[in-house]
Amino acid sequence: MIAFFLKLCARTAAQGAAPSVFAATAPELAGQSGQYLADCAVALSSLEGRDATLAERLWAASAQLVAA
């Protein structure tokens, strides 16, 4: 049963690597940093992903975990 759901959602290694390769080689992304990519195109992240307050809280929690 799990294998069935994995087949629906899983990607091949090439499909999984494509956004990283695109980000590293696409001329239209030259000089840009911090872009969110979906299916090899620049896209908006979720509302939570753009929430500066939430990002600060996550950074602080991560710093505490690393220090521990």
Domain boundaries, the chain: 2-67
DSSP state of 30: T
Averages of pLDDT over runs of 10 residues in the chain (68 residues) are 70 85 91 84 90 96 93
Q: 64: part of which helix (H) or strand (E)?
A: helix 52-67
Q: Dig out the tokens for 47 from the structure.
A: 């509302």
pLDDT of residue 5: 64
- pTM exceeds cut of 0.75: no
Residues 6, 13, 25, CA angle at the centre, nearest 5°? 135
Cα–Cα distance between 40 and 23 in angstroms, integer? 8
